[in-house]
C-alpha cells in the first residue's frame, strides 16, 4: 500500500497496516 512504499520498515512490524 502507500504506507508500505513510504515506510517499508513498518511493513515488517505491521504487515496488516501496510495491506490496508
In this prediction the pTM is 0.08
Please give the share of the chain, as a percent, with pLDDT higher than 70. Answer: 0
Cα separation, 8 vs 15, in Å, equals: 10
What integer pLDDT is reported at residue 10 of this predicted model?
57
CB neighbours (10 Å) of residue 14? 12
Task: Decide if pLDDT at 13 tops 60.
Answer: yes
Place of cell 501496510: 18
What's CA 7's distance to the chain center, in Å? 6
What backbone torsions phi and psi does residue 8 show, to the nearest 5 degrees? -60, -30
- Residues 20, 2 contacting (CB under 8 angstroms): no
Task: Decide if pLDDT at 6 tops 60.
Answer: yes
Amino acid at each position: 500500500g502507500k504506507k508500505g512504499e513510504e515506510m517499508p520498515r513498518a511493513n515488517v512490524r505491521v504487515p496488516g497496516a501496510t495491506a490496508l
